[in-house]
């Protein structure tokens, strides 16, 4: 044991206490710099196992019937719109419309696809957008295990002329 006299006080110097403080500081610094485990974020994307969005004017007891009913209603409304605007494209019979139902049930168009998109008159796009905008809101899709609403995207074929 060593003694140190400083300004009238005597401090006892214990070498073992310094090693304990040094060891504690070393372990503390290692603990603070080690990588932390990250919490895994749950999958909030809609899958086939989750509750799909439901169209209010169609049967709700069977999901497949609801989707088919919605597709028929949309096609019938588009046919009426095309007939009233006298739209017909001889070499084009189908375009594919990518639709989205968001977390509040609002239906919107995400895009179109077809090999001949450049030859489609803009009136067809505006007609499809007008019909989609006039449809009522869906019941949004829900993530089954989390019970939170999620967005759903799907592509629907739309016949232009028969």
Model pLDDT for residues 68-93, shown as the tens digit of each residue: 888 888 888 888 887 777 765 555 67
128 compared with 39, residue with greater pLDDT: 128
Element housing 112 (H / E) = strand 107-113
Most confident range, picked from 17-31, 40-54, 137-151: 137-151
Query: Of 69, 61, 81, which Cα lies nearest the Cα of 128?
Result: 81
Higher confidence at residue 14 or residue 153?
153
* pTM for the predicted model, two decimal places: 0.65
Q: What is the pLDDT at residue 82?
A: 79
């Amino acid at each position: 044991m060593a003694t140190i006299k400083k300004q009238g006080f005597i401090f006892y110097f214990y070498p073992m206490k310094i090693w304990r403080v040094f060891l504690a500081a070393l372990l503390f610094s290692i603990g603070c710099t080690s990588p932390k485990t990250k919490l895994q974020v749950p999958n909030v994307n809609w899958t086939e196992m989750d509750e799909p969005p439901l169209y209010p004017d169609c049967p709700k007891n069977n999901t497949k019937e609801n989707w088919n009913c919605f597709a028929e209603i949309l096609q019938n409304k588009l046919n009426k719109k095309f007939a009233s605007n006298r739209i017909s494209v001889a070499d084009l019979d189908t375009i594919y419309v990518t639709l989205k139902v968001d977390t509040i049930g609002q239906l919107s168009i995400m895009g179109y696809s077809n090999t001949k998109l450049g030859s489609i008159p803009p009136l067809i796009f505006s007609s499809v957008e007008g019909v989609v905008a006039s449809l009522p809101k869906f019941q949004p899709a829900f993530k089954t295990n989390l019970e939170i609403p999620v967005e759903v995207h799907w592509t629907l074929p739309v016949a232009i002329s028969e």
